[in-house]
Structure formats: structure tokens, C-alpha cells
Amino acid sequence: MPLPLPSGGDKLMGNASISPKGKKTPVAKKKKSKARRVAGKIGRALLTVFLIFVITCTLVGGAVAFYIINFVTPQNINLDSANLDSTTFVYATNSKNETVEVAQISGEQNRVWVSLKDMPENLKNAFVCTEDQRFYEHNGVDWKRTISSFGNLFFHFYETRQGGSTITQQLVNNLTAAGKNSSDYGRKIQEIVNALDLEKRYGKEQILEAYLNTINLNEGCYGVQTAARNYFNKDVKDLDLAECAALACLPKAPSTYDPRYHPEKNTERRVNVVLKNMYKQKKITKEQYEQAINEKLNIAPKKTVSTRGWFEDMVITDVQKDLQTKYGWTADYALNTIYTKGLKIYTTMNTDVQSAMDKIYQDTTNTKYWKQYQGAVQPESAMIIMDYNGNILGVEGGRGKKSGNLIYNRAVDARAARQPGSAIKPLGVYAPAIELNKINWSSLIPCSKITTPDGKLWPKNDDDSNYTGSMTVVRALAKSVNTVAVHIEKDYLSPEYTFDFLKNKLGFTSLVERKVVGNKVYSDKTLSIAIGALTQGVTVKELAGGYQIFGNNGLYYKPHSYTKVLDSKGNVLLENKIKPIQAIGADTAFIMNKLLQSNVTHPEGTGRAAKISGLVVGGKTGTTNDHKDRWFAGITPDYVGVVWFGYDQPKDLGYKGTNPALVVWRSVFQLLPKHKKDFPKNGDVIQERYDPATGYITSTGTEVGWYKVNGYLPTAPVDPELS
């Protein structure tokens, strides 16, 4: 029998009840009231956050406005003179110390000014639709893009950072140094002020014309006319829609979207960005759009341009970097200044030295070193010659005829760093140990291998011999015995000491303190540093810079390619006043000098082939265990010279004869002008006879060595019973 319903006819369902008329019970009202309270709290919290954001933006905006009004003045850019560029001149000296002009720099930045009326509408629209859609509406600054870009720094509306620069702002960056870098808000404000001022004084058409004639379009093309000639062999007025769109791809990243070298990336941006924007903004019809996206560009063959020498390219790069560092300029603006602002660059080049190097390096038919290897690919080489004050006198970044401007330079480019092998030993092992009075000329050092933590015997000597007994320092250096160098490093120095010495005293920049790649840890603070097995190697320039200390009383001067740079009015923009570092004492430097000479004169010396009649020569070979790299670092009374020899893609040279780097070095040095007959004697040192069997100084010694007067003099102990 069913139970009677409660009074009022309600049906119970859990904790909720509904009246026959559909009205909620007090329980449901309580839930709704609680939800309203929670929603109210959330709303008030969001309102508070919003008000804080508004107040913060107001305060920041007010501060920025106050800063702009009181401290930032426009630079009064003159568009009428924007197309008046000047040639930069490069000077060097010859062996008579005469200043001579060696280059004029202007051709790399090729610019021909054309009127806006001579440019097709599609070209103008392509750039505007891609770079600045509201160009004709704003007053120089697109505040919507600027605020959006600023907000994205904090709230990440977009997946990538959004640029806020208008065409007017980009023009400002092309003509001034206002665009130091995107993180410098002071410079950004200056850019904005300049853009606003520019739009007050010039019309949109004048601004657009200047922009399209100054924009960097890669391959040395600045402006649309030279770019049209370069890529399509046409005048700009004759470009079709697809070609106009191809050029409009370039401002975002000129080298990345180069239609000659990266056609796929140019096509992708041309179709998906430039042409699509033009179609969406109704600047082209659907038929024009479809025809343009299916057009295959006909890129003109690359024209042969005048190729500068290795030295001129090196000094351009050095000046560009130093202008960026000193003035905070962008790389593009610094390079633009070099090419167009009529600078005078006084280099450290010695024209006679450079000519001698060119003669050897450009003669690829010489079978002594260029044609003795099997296979179609011949090895490469690089060389630096400098004096003992850090002045680079000549450079070769590769063998044969140089193929272009600002190309890969194996002598100075960080990517060209290679393991120096035994060429590092005088710098990282022998010189520091003699400086600390831990070893001397005739110290006897064990020749045995050491046992590594994993139980292996290491290292291997190049001739796979001399693993027993001991050997004098002079003989071990001459024979380039790896085991002796490692024993000195382990017993008298430390990898940490050598690491710091090379980095802080000799300017080595590529040393790795600790780097993890995958599950493997790399570090140059190991015993391998003693034999040049470095993680990232060294450059030819760094090694040459280190070896200068052996001919100038132990002073290290940072290697440099120019002395000063003047602007078109004669004002000094840059000047290299290098302050030397006392890397080692004069006595240590003199003894090391004599040890390096012994490496050339010693009957077992690896540098014997460097002998040049009538010239005092010292030096050290370098050979890596895998025979992928060969080096020779040599010194004469006038010069320091370092040669690297190997393949760009490292592999065994497969050659066991005379070190080819040494052969190249000797061939060049035979042609160099010579001024000094010998190194001067420096430091408090003495010459003594010693017994090579004991290492002791004795009047009956059969060999002669050099020792520090205030250092450790290895004399035989006196027997107490005989004293």
C-alpha cells in the first residue's frame, strides 16, 4: 500500500524540493545566493586588477610623456640629403712606413635613387601592406601596434614578439642610430619622437620614397632600384606583381628571404604574407593574386663584383663590431656608416707583408702543399702575421682566389676555431711552469703515461715512443712529447691554472668551462688542455696573439686590425690604444724564446724545416692525434706568424711528410722584408752548461741552456762528507 504524500503534495528528492508551482525552496535560494556572492567577489577582484592596470599604465604613460616632453628632442632628419653618400677610404703602411690607400669602400652597398613616380603601384602597395598597413592613416607611429607590442611583453597575446615599427620609424633607423636595439626603451622613445617630427615636416610620399630608396634588400642592395637590377636584371619600373612581392619579403630578414639563395623561404612569405595581405586589403584582384602566387621567379645570374682582400674584409667587420659596442648602434646601421659616410680607416696592414702572403696563398699550383693530397677536395689553410705590439700586418682566410666579400674567414672567424694540438704547449704548459719556477731548461720530466680515472693509460705520443725514463724540458719541447707536457700540467700546474692563464692573460675566448650536451659534459678544465685537445679549439688570430709574448718581454697586446677611424669631418670615431698585459716576466719570455729557437735547431726538433738562411727563427708545430689539423706558430725578430692547415669538414689529412703548415709558413717568411738581425737579450738570465743525464748545471756539462738568475738553478747536491 503506497504511503501518503506529505502535506502540500511535494515529492522529496534528496535535499532539494520543488513546490507544485515550480518555486525553489529555501535550499535552492541559499545555493543561488552563495553563487552570486562568489561571482561578486570574482568580479570585484577582476575590477581591482583592471583598475590597477589602468592606473599603472596611466602612471607609466605620464612618466613617458614627461620624459619625452622634457628630455627628448627630435634629431631633425633631413630627407633631402638622405641620398648623398660618401665613399670610405682604407689606409695601410708599407715597409718604408709610408701611408698608402689600399681600398675604397662603397660598392658593397649599391644604391641608385629613383623617384616614387617611377615605381610601380604594386611595389609601393606590397611594402605598405606588409610592413605598415595603416601607413597613410597614422602620424608616424602606429599606436595600436606599439601598445600591442608593449602589452605582448607582459601578457603574451601572440606566440612571438610583435614589432611595432612603422615605415616612418624604419626610415628613422635607416638614417640615424635611433634603433640601438629593441630592449633599449630610451632609444625606442627617440625613434618615436623622430618619426613624429619627420611626419610633421614631410609628406607621406616623400617618406615612402626615402624608405624605398634606403631599405636593406640584401646582397649589398640598398633601395629597390639596385635590388631590381640585382635579382631580376630589370629597372624597378618594369617589375611585375610577383617580383614586387618578392622584394617586399626582404625587410623582415634580408638574408633569410633572399630569393637567390633561399627561394623556398621567399616563396612561402611572398604567397602567405605579402600577396595575401595585398589581396585582403583590396590592392589586387583575385585573378591577379592567383596569377602571382603561381608565377615562378626568373632570378638573374649573380653579377661579378669587385672582390676586396681578406684584410679589408676583416677590418670592416672589426670596425662594425666596435661601432656597435661603443655607440650602441645596430649591425645594419654600423655597416651602413662604413659604406656610406666617408670614413677614413687607418689599418695596421703592412702592404709588403700582405703581398708576400697573397703570392703564396693565391698560387694554388704549388705542389709543395696545395696539390699533394688525393681526392677532388684540396685542404684549406689560413694565416695571420702580426708584430709584437698586437698589430695584425697580414691575413689570409683561405687559399686561392677570394670568391666574394665578407665571406667565411678561417683566420679570424670564431667558427674557424680548431684544436691547436701541440702548438698550445709553449703557451699553456711550459711558459707558466717556468714563470712559477716549477721547471727550467734542463729539468728532467717523466715520459711515462698516466692512469686516467677510468683506468686507461694516457696520452699517446705522436711517435708512440719514449714512455719510460725522463727527458729534459728542452728535448721534450723539441720532440713535442705529449706525456711530458701532461706530467708538467699534473705535477706542477693544474688544468684550472692553465685555463685561467690562457683566458685572462692571453685573450683566448673559445675555452669551455663546462657545457652539457645531451648526457655528456664538456670542459677544458682537464689535463687534455696540456696537449691542445680543446672542446672548441682556438682561432689563428688567438694563437698568434699568444705567441707575441715570446718576443716582447712577456707582454700581451690584444690583436687588432686598425689604429683609428675618422668620420668625414676628421673627428675620431674609434681609436685603438691597446694597453698590454704582463702575461709572463721578461726572463721567462727570453728563455721561452730560446726554447722555441731550439725547436728549429735541435736535431730532433719538429720545427727543423722552418730554418731560413740568415734569419733567426723559433716556433712550434701542432698536430692533433687524429691528424685533422696541422699548425705552425713561428717567431722571428720582426714578426709572429701562425698557419693552420686542414679541411673545412675535418678529416684525416692522410699525409705523414713535413708538416704542410710549416712549409707554407717558411714559403711566406722567405719573402718578407727583414729589419732586425736577432732578438734582444731581455730579463735577468744567464747561460750555463748542464749535464743532460742529470739536468744539473756543471762546468763539465755537454750542453748549454738558459736559466733565470732569480729562479731555480739546478745544481747537484753537495755530499755532506765532502763539504
In the chain, the N- to C-terminal Cα span, in Å, equals: 133
Length of the chain: 723
User: How many C-beta neighbours within 10 Å does residue 45 have?
Assistant: 10
User: How many C-beta neighbours within 10 Å does residue 380 have?
Assistant: 19
User: How many C-beta neighbours within 10 Å does residue 369 have?
Assistant: 26
Instruction: Please enumerate, as own/partner, the contacts of 158-165 that have beta carbons within 8 Å and a separation of 24 or more.
Output: 165/191
C-alpha cell at 169: 620609424
DSSP 8-state secondary structure symbol assigned to residue 556: E
φ/ψ of 549, rounded to 5, equals -65, -15
131 is catalytic: yes
574, 326 contact by CB (below 8 A): yes
- Among candidate residues 108, 131, 219, 243, the one labeled active-site is 131
448 is catalytic: no
- Among candidate residues 149, 165, 381, 422, the one labeled active-site is 422
C-alpha cell at 347: 689599418
Burial 182-218 (b: 16+ CB within 10 A, else e): eeeeebbbbbbbbbbbbbeebebebbbbbbbbbbbbb
242, 123 contact by CB (below 8 A): no
Sign of the dihedral defined by the CA atoms of residues 236, 239, 245, 247, in that order? negative
Q: Is 128 helix (H, G, I), strand (E, B) or coil?
A: helix
Q: Give the Cα separation of 224 and 239 in Å (integer).
A: 10
Nearest Cα neighbor of 146 from 190, 186, 188, 184 is: 188
HSE-up of residue 115 (Cα within 13 Å, Cβ side)? 2
Q: 121-131 and 167-175 helices cross at what angle (nearest 10)?
A: 90
Q: Give the Cα separation of 619 and 464 in Å (integer).
A: 23
What are the Cα distances from residue 720, in Å, to 717, 723? 9, 5
What are the Cα distances from residue 450, in Å, to 101, 422, 454, 459, 479? 56, 18, 11, 7, 19
User: Which strands form 640-646's sheet, in the order they lie side by side?
Assistant: 392-396, 380-386, 640-646, 629-635, 618-623
SS (H, E, C) 216-268: ECCCCEECHHHHHHHHHCCCHHHCCHHHHHHHHCHHHCCCCCCCCCCHHHHHH
Q: Give the Cα separation of 369 and 86 in Å (integer).
A: 43
Active site residues: 131, 422
